């Protein structure tokens, strides 16, 4: 999608659709009023009839009788004062979805005032919403007629805001690119998106960009490093595991990188502790943490920031077979610590613990892991917020702030020592599950035992990574949050 920012006189603008807002009292913004005058008051008459509706973010498409605009999209804004940031996001999303099938559009929602936000933030939200709205999974469909919005122009109300709107627009567009990469990988079925496929995608990406290098650790290399926990998950599958390392080198040589670690279980049956059959197809989404790492890498390559970032993807398939790990098995991790596997469906933490140990080799400034880790997090937070755990409150605060700015929100969860005892084992250094209570917390406690050498955060995205039901599909979260954090850290 092409994004442009310019001073666009609505009376002269040529577009498939112009997007304007009307508040609860049917008052239009400056460009909307100018267009209404040019239309002989036709827009005002439509508003007086109540065709738009009163609900925030309601939309209505009009076809003008003459002029350079093919259509006009009316969007219902707030009560007349400054909009909240949450309400503005609703307007951005609603308008983007309403025009996503048109060839192009020009948005004048930049004329609205938003509490606590500048023009760059507004442009970011509009570009992010437009980019995400244009995505549709078509790879496995024959004869798809998807024709996404090809171009969107953001109106610049005042020339002094041109640069800020351009910068915000570029950031939002890149976050959308990254989010859509994550969605595409998450939506691919498990017979296509395997660990080998992810490794191939990472290698191909590095061939296209000089600032990115990719290395892949195969099963033999992981054995030599002592990654017994990681390998225990892959034992039951014919698909070989892979630890994929993508290094974005945009900063100074030798500067400490941020390391992102993504859980990449490309399909999770639960192993011997097999899952119920209902909705098991959604376990293709168990690699959405890995998908988000790929998405962030794509966004960084779009933006080219002067930072160093390593993306580690712990990729494996969890299957039941005669070779699969059994409840009661004990494995030795790369760190040397032993783990009693009480439930083979608690496999994400087993691949992650070895990947987190490996991450220390990069002498990182910060390590953040992203994982669809626990159903307990879904029960605790639903799909609105990602569960956030950290061994450093400053890092947690920065991640939460990044989530608030993007609307890709996270909630700080406890990581207290009192929870650690639930992982005690009679036969090994620890067991891989705690009790029924606080399952998301005890999973984070397990991971924390492998992060003592660096500043670390864990994002449990089990509730936020995909939607079920009629809108089933990967969401692309938390790519916007992570990109925002990396650029503003």
- By the 8 A CB rule, do 231 and 222 touch? yes
State both tokens at 88.
């503005």
- Residues 150, 368: Cα–Cα separation, whole Å: 34
Half-sphere exposure (CA, 13 Å, Cβ side) for 188?
21
Pairing of strands 330-332, 338-340: antiparallel
Q: What are the φ/ψ torsions at residue 172 (nearest 5 degrees)? A: -60, -40
Q: What is the DSSP letter of 238?
A: S
- Residues 359, 336: Cα–Cα separation, whole Å: 15
The catalytically annotated residue of 256, 275, 326, 337 is 275
Q: What are the φ/ψ torsions at residue 360 (nearest 5 degrees)? A: -60, -20
Q: Is 349 a catalytic residue?
A: yes
- Four-residue CA torsion sign, 43, 49, 52, 56: positive
**Sequence-distant contacts of 205-213: CB under 8 A, at least 24 apart:** 205/246, 205/294, 205/297, 205/298, 205/301, 206/246, 209/301, 211/248, 211/249, 211/250, 211/301, 211/304, 212/246, 212/247, 212/248, 212/249, 212/297, 212/301, 213/246, 213/247, 213/249
- Residues 194, 188: Cα–Cα separation, whole Å: 9
Q: How many CB atoms neighbour CB 4 within 10 A?
A: 14
Q: Is 136 a catalytic residue?
A: no
At residue 414, the 3 state secondary structure works out as coil
The catalytically annotated residue of 100, 183, 349, 477 is 349
Half-sphere exposure (CA, 13 Å, Cβ side) for 351?
37
State both tokens at 48.
């007086």
- Residues 318, 352: Cα–Cα separation, whole Å: 14
End-to-end, the C-alpha distance of the chain in Å comes to 28
Q: Where are the beta strands (DSSP E) in 273-409?
A: 308-318, 330-332, 338-340, 366-371, 386-390
Picking from 475, 405, 489, the residue whose alpha carbon sits closest to that of residue 122 is 405
The reply to whether omega before 478 is within 30° of 0 (cis) is: yes
- Residues 384, 300: Cα–Cα separation, whole Å: 25
- By the 8 A CB rule, do 71 and 107 touch? no
By annotation, the residues acting in catalysis are: 275, 349
């Amino acid at each position: 999608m092409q994004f442009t920012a310019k001073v666009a006189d609505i009376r002269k603008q040529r577009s498939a659709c112009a997007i304007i807002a009307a508040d609860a009292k049917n008052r239009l913004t400056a460009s909307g009023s100018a267009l209404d005058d040019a239309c002989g008051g036709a827009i005002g008459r439509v508003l007086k009839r109540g065709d738009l509706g009163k609900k925030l973010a309601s939309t209505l498409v009009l076809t003008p009788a003459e002029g350079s605009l093919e259509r006009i999209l009316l969007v219902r804004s707030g009560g007349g004062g400054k909009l909240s940031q949450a309400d503005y996001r609703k307007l951005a999303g609603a308008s983007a979805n309403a025009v996503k099938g048109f060839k192009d559009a020009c948005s004048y929602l930049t004329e609205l005032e938003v509490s606590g936000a500048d023009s760059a933030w507004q442009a970011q939200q509009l570009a992010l919403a437009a980019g995400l709205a244009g995505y549709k999974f078509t790879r496995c469909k024959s004869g798809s007629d998807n024709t996404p919005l090809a171009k969107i122009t953001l109106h610049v109300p005042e020339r002094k805001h041109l640069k800020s709107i351009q910068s915000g627009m570029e950031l939002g567009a890149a976050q959308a690119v990254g989010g859509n990469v994550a969605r595409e990988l998450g939506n691919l079925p498990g017979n296509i998106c395997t660990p080998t496929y992810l490794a191939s995608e990472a290698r191909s990406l590095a061939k296209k960009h000089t600032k990115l290098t990719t290395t892949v650790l195969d099963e033999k290399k992981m054995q030599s490093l002592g990654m017994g926990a990681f390998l225990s998950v892959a034992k039951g599958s014919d698909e070989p595991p892979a630890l994929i390392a993508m290094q974005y080198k945009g900063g100074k040589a030798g500067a400490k990188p941020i390391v992102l670690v993504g859980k990449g279980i490309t399909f999770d049956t639960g192993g011997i502790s097999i899952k119920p059959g209902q909705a098991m197809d959604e376990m293709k989404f168990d690699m959405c943490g890995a998908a988000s790492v790929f998405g962030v890498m794509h966004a960084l390559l779009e933006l080219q920031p002067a930072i160093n970032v390593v993306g580690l993807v712990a990729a494996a398939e969890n299957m039941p077979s005669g070779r699969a790990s059994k409840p009661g098995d004990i494995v030795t991790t790369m760190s040397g610590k032993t783990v009693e596997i009480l439930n083979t469906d608690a496999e994400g933490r087993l691949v992650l613990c070895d990947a987190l140990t490996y991450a220390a080799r990069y002498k990182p400034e910060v390590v953040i892991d992203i994982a669809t880790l626990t159903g307990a997090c879904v029960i605790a937070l639903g799909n609105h917020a990602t569960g956030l755990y950290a061994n450093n409150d400053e890092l947690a605060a920065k991640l939460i702030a990044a989530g608030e700015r993007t609307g890709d929100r996270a909630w700080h969860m406890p990581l207290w020592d009192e929870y650690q005892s639930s992982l005690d084992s009679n036969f090994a250094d620890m067991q891989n599950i705690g009790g029924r209570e606080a399952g998301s917390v005890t999973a984070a406690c397990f991971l924390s035992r492998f992060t003592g050498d660096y500043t670390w955060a864990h994002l449990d995205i089990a509730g936020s990574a995909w939607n079920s039901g009629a809108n089933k599909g990967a969401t692309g979260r938390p790519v916007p949050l992570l990109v925002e954090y990396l650029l503003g850290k």
